[in-house]
């Protein structure tokens, strides 16, 4: 079945499908964790997971990026280190990239 994404209906179907997939992915963890014993090791692993995901996203950007991306990478690390908040750190990195791109063009 092909979905025509050049129409409004096609775009709505694609967005709805992505929404359902994202939601199922999110709630699957809650259901699957019922079968996992939460040992200190598992708790430490779960605590490190958000930083590992952020690192996996940012590392290729930092390696292949330019001054704006490097600034954003450093800003993300600094905000995360100071505040310990993943969302705030990501927001700080985005703002830093936007500012450097606005200044450098």
Each as own residue / partner, the long-range contacts of residues 57-64 (CB below 8 Å, 24 or more positions apart, any chain) are 58/93
How many domains in the chain?
A: 2
Q: pLDDT per residue over 43-75, tens digit each? A: 999 888 887 887 888 788 878 889 999 999 899
Task: Compute the distance between CA of residue 68 and CA of residue 75 in angstroms, rounded to an integer.
Answer: 10
Parent domain of 100: 37-105
Same domain for 57 and 78, yes or no, is yes
Confidence of residue 103 (pLDDT cuts 50, 70, 90): very high
- Token pair in block for residue 64: 């292949």
Same domain for 31 and 76, yes or no, is no
Q: To the nearest 5 percent, what fractions of the chain are helix, strand and coil?
A: 85, 0, 15
Task: Compute the distance between CA of residue 58 and CA of residue 86 in angstroms, rounded to an integer.
Answer: 13
Dump strand ranges (E) for 1-105: none
Percent of the chain with pLDDT over 70: 99
Same domain for 68 and 94, yes or no, is yes
């Amino acid at each position: 079945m092909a979905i025509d994404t050049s129409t409004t209906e096609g775009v709505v179907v694609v967005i709805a499908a992505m929404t359902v997939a994202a939601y199922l992915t999110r709630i699957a963890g809650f259901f699957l964790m019922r079968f996992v014993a939460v040992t200190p090791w598992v708790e430490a692993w779960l605590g490190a997971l958000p930083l590992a995901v952020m690192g996996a996203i940012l590392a290729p950007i930092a390696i292949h990026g330019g001054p704006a991306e490097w600034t954003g990478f450093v800003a993300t690390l600094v905000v995360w280190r100071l505040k310990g908040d993943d969302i705030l750190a990501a927001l700080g990195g985005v703002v830093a990239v936007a500012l450097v791109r606005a200044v450098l063009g």
